[in-house]
A = this chain, B = another copy of it.
């Protein structure tokens, strides 16, 4: 079973990485770029077969380690 986790910064949190990329895109001549936000995309290969169990487990992993919920949100998808 495979889980995909999308970790993104909470909306008010500064994203220097995204800002820098946005600025550079502008300089490269891409005009209509209004904003860039950069997060993490984590793929986890699990032994579990039950999607519900997998989701539960991965959610716990996110809370405990993968995301810092003080400043990040995450979304879990089970394939």
Binding site for B on A (CB under 8 A): 6-8, 18, 21, 24-25, 28, 30-48, 57, 60-61, 64-66
Contacts and interface: CB of A to CB of B under 8 A. Distances in A.
Contacts of A65: 21, 24-25, 28
A23 to B, nearest CB: 11
Chain copies in the assembly? 2
Question: Nearest 3 pairs between A and B by C-beta?
Answer: A32-B47, A41-B41, A35-B45
B41 A39 contact: yes
Given A21-B65, A25-B65, A64-B28, A37 B46 contact: no
Given A31-B47, A57-B30, A65-B21, A38 B36 contact: no
